[in-house]
Amino acid sequence: MRLALLGPPGSGKGTQGAVLREHFKIPHVSSGDLLRTAVRDGTELGRKAKAYMDAGELVPDALVLAMMKERLGKPDCRSGFLLDGFPRTLAQAESLTRMLADDRTSLEHVISLGVTEKEIIARLRDRRAQEHRSDDDDGTVKQRLRVYFAETAPLLEYYRKQGLLREVQGIGKPDAISVAIRATLGNGR
């Protein structure tokens, strides 16, 4: 199973990604986690990415694509993977399509989690209080939402045209959302 999860910041991609990883026994590849790890570890990529992340901007495609190509090339991703937070731009989506085609594979499904802006802001305030994430302050959150709607939301139509998009309401109890996702994929168990 090769999946991608789309949705605004705070839509539950990480929560649902963890559930789907266990259900399908595939790696959960979170671009945000990979970037935060690189920042924490002080790698060259991490130093370059930190300034963009702290400002609520998208990390440049070249950095993200290099990181994702390396990660998806690892043996544990050969039988499938779940992308979380990638792709974020049309250019990334097109590059991902080419990258996978070079390996004679493709995405099978793209799941979009729909959540209202009010709910997102509330969730991210809670997450900031619990996890102390610098990218969850109010100003940064509003900028991240602006960037999402300008840069990432157009991917919904891109994947809809390919017949890959599965839209799921991302508000409610996490377990119920997980069941809805699996039902949308035709795997309701």
Which residue type is seen at 45?
Answer: L
Q: How many CA atoms lie within 13 A of 175 on its CB side?
A: 0
What residues have CB less than 8 Å from 28, skipping those under 6 apart? 17, 18, 20, 21, 81, 82, 84
Q: For residues 178 and 140, what is the distance between their CA atoms, to the nearest angstrom?
A: 28
Q: Which residues pair with 169 in a beta bridge?
A: 114
Which residue type is seen at 182?
Answer: R
Of 45, 42, 44, 2, residue with least CA distance to 20: 2
Output DSSP code: residue 42.
Answer: T
Sign, CA torsion 8/11/17/20: negative
Catalytic residues: 13, 88, 127, 133, 144
Are 114 and 13 spatial neighbours (Cβ–Cβ below 8 Å)?
A: no
